[in-house]
Structure 1
Amino acid sequence: MYDLAVVGGGPAGLSAAVQARVRGKSVLIVSGDVRDNALYKAQRVDNYLGLPETGGGALLERFRRHAQALGAQWKSGRVLNILPSGGTFYLGIGSDMTQARALVLATGVVRTRKYPGEEAHLGRGVSYCATCDGMLYRGRAVAVVGKSADAPEEANYLQSIGCRVTYVSDRVPEGLEAAIPFVKAAKLEITGEAGVEALRADGRMLPCAGVFILRPAMALADLLPDLALKDGYIAVDRNMATNLPGVFAAGDCTGLPLQVSKAVGEGQVAGHRAAEYLDQL
């Protein structure tokens, strides 16, 4: 079990990890593909104090090396759910589970408006994890809705275990196996009676038994259902504490302005206060 789990490997999460490590806490950072991070896509950052004219990717790499040099552990993956129980937080990371005594949520801005039919078919053909549920669909047709940078890799995995995959996205994928059909579409709907029967993609019906929706992150309301939100962002106090004991948040997920300096500062407070919380347990 870790003292602190940090959900998100951007500036806020890495700043929180650094603060917790210098206070002697064991830290696990869980992060998806770096290519999904908004800062990574910035060609140049001119307004971060002391490091002007630095590429966003280079800045992120410096932050990551700092946190790992202090002993923070790193796990690549997508946190699908978090279950608080008896003072412990159980994090479902893909098909794995890990535990922590406190959390810092640094997920960035998560825009995950559900598709028509998605919620109704959850657990009845809709999945968010290829490695978790892929074996259930061997020999059957599935659709992969690719919204994350690593979605083509997960589609390739499904194909490799015997699923008949169709990849659907509003942009051309990179790294998708040539044998996997690609359908470019933006307007999607999941249909079926007892379970998933098809994905409607810009009006075209794609018969399938399962739909894997691969986003960079889960919606905050799905991740921790009792987490208080305000205007779509996580509600926090000046200590970056949420309404849930032991859960802190920092960075873009707490609201405007969406700036690196704000994220790093909030991460510092969140990591510090999380360490103080742990000391009081």
Structure 2
Amino acid sequence: MYKSIVIGTGPAGLTAAIYLARANLNPLVIEGPEPGGQLTTTTEVENFPGFPEGIMGPELMANMRKQAERFGAEFRTGWINSVETSKRPFTLSLEGGETLQAETLIISTGASARYLGIPGERDNVGRGVSTCATCDGFFFRGKKIIVVGGGDSAMEEANFLTRFASEVELVHRRDELRASKIMQDRARENPKIKWSLNRTPLEVVATGMGVTGLKVRNNETGEEEVIETQGLFVAIGHTPNTKFLGGQIDTDELGYIKVKPGTTETNIPGVFACGDVQDHKYRQAITAAGSGCMAALDCEKFLEGNMVHDWSETLNV
């Protein structure tokens, strides 16, 4: 039995763990197969406050983990098969048959960027391939880049990237876009955006120095060509990591966990959500960390009057 279990070890989960541990709540933090979240796939982080020269993504996450451990947070690596939230204490079933119980849960499992699934893509994440224009656009100042996608997020990313790039080429596999008319109009009015519609991405072309092009197939002619580029931004959406919850927590139409405005509270008392798993708008390390702080404070306040276990005789949990 734990007072609180944090699920996920991105900026949100680790910040929550730091605050919970400093409040002597002895949290258990469960990290999945990708400890540290999406920041571990980022080379340099230049917009996290306190690091004027920037910091490598994996280093930032390692430092956050050390800080949580320093105050007494316990870490365990494992895959959660299911969670039972119908009654407190909540029960977590881990891969291998182990079960854990907790008075409160903080869900910070994030959202995974969708990839194209083509050769050379994953190998070059951080070396020219990105899924976050806000995070990485600055590194492509004066360069030609490609944005792949046809929805609102692709239009938004393309427009944003024109602040830095010399040219942005938007590639989409259909000849029609899914984006709203207003977003399409904004993109089409931008003179720095070039269009390559009805082209299917086949392979990311790269050398030892990074990305040099994107091989595509022209769906009208069947011919293949390589579009030269120095950067590739994949903007085909994100998938919140909530499948293990089995639909017990209310989500919006995109699958992101709903929280009460101004809080991290879900529809289940004692269950809180923070970070990208409940935020499809900002998706930044600093906003995730801030919501992790909120979740820990909400959790601490909840426990003050809702304990279900007598901890007075518990020396170590």
TM over 0.5: yes
Describe the shift of the 1:259–1:218 C-alpha distance in structure 2 as closer, same or farther (beyond 3 A): closer
Alignment of structure 1 residues 1-281 onto 2, 5 Å: 1-34=1-34, 37-52=37-52, 53-95=54-96, 96-110=98-112, 219-230=241-252, 231-237=254-260, 238-255=262-279, 256-281=281-306
Q: Output the CA distance in 2 between the equivalents of 1:63 and 1:36.
A: 9
Scaled by the length of structure 1, what TM-score is found?
A: 0.60
Q: Output the CA distance in 2 between the equivalents of 1:90 and 1:100.
A: 7
Is the 8 Å Cα contact of residues 80 and 92 (structure 1) preserved in structure 2? yes
Describe the shift of the 1:106–1:83 C-alpha distance in structure 2 as closer, same or farther (beyond 3 A): same
Q: Which entry has the higher C-alpha Rg, 1 or 2?
A: 2
Scaled by the length of structure 2, what TM-score is found?
A: 0.53
Is the 8 Å Cα contact of residues 80 and 218 (structure 1) preserved in structure 2? no
Q: Output the CA distance in 2 between the equivalents of 1:99 and 1:267.
A: 21
Describe the shift of the 1:110–1:280 C-alpha distance in structure 2 as closer, same or farther (beyond 3 A): farther
Q: Residue type of the partner of 1:226?
A: Q
Q: Output the CA distance in 1 between the equivalents of 2:80 and 2:112.
A: 13
Is the 8 Å Cα contact of residues 81 and 92 (structure 1) preserved in structure 2? yes
Describe the shift of the 1:111–1:223 C-alpha distance in structure 2 as closer, same or farther (beyond 3 A): farther
Structure 2: 5+ residue runs without aligned partners?
115-238, 307-317
Q: Residue type of the partner of 1:236?
A: V
Q: Output the CA distance in 2 between the equivalents of 1:81 and 1:51.
A: 38
Q: Output the CA distance in 2 between the equivalents of 1:244 and 1:111.
A: 27
Q: Residue type of the partner of 1:225?
A: G
Describe the shift of the 1:36–1:267 C-alpha distance in structure 2 as closer, same or farther (beyond 3 A): closer
| Bigger mean CA deviation after superposition, 98-107 or 13-22 | 13-22
Is the 8 Å Cα contact of residues 78 and 95 (structure 2) preserved in structure 1? yes
Q: Output the CA distance in 1 between the equivalents of 2:100 and 2:35.
A: 24
Q: Output the CA distance in 1 between the equivalents of 2:103 and 2:241.
A: 22
Describe the shift of the 1:72–1:232 C-alpha distance in structure 2 as closer, same or farther (beyond 3 A): same
Describe the shift of the 1:218–1:267 C-alpha distance in structure 2 as closer, same or farther (beyond 3 A): closer
Q: Residue type of the partner of 1:39?
A: L
Query: In the TM superposition, what whole-angstrom CA distance separates every residue of 1:154-210 from its partner, at most 9, and x where no partner exists?
Result: xxxxxxxxxxxxxxxxxxxxxxxxxxxxxxxxxxxxxxxxxxxxxxxxxxxxxxxxx
Following superposition, the deviation at residue 219 of structure 1 comes to 4.8
Structure 2 partner of 1:191: none
Is the 8 Å Cα contact of residues 109 and 252 (structure 1) preserved in structure 2? yes
Structure 1: 5+ residue runs without aligned partners?
113-216
Is the 8 Å Cα contact of residues 36 and 61 (structure 2) preserved in structure 1? no
Describe the shift of the 1:14–1:35 C-alpha distance in structure 2 as closer, same or farther (beyond 3 A): closer
SS at match of 1:272: helix
Q: Output the CA distance in 2 between the equivalents of 1:20 and 1:54.
A: 25
Query: In the TM superposition, what whole-angstrom CA distance separates every residue of 1:56-87 from its partner, at most 9, and x where no partner exists?
Result: 00000000000011100000011111012541
Following superposition, the deviation at residue 36 of structure 1 comes to 7.5
Describe the shift of the 1:7–1:92 C-alpha distance in structure 2 as closer, same or farther (beyond 3 A): same
SS at match of 2:104: strand
Percent identity of the aligned residues? 30
Alignment RMSD? 2.3
Following superposition, the deviation at residue 10 of structure 1 comes to 0.9
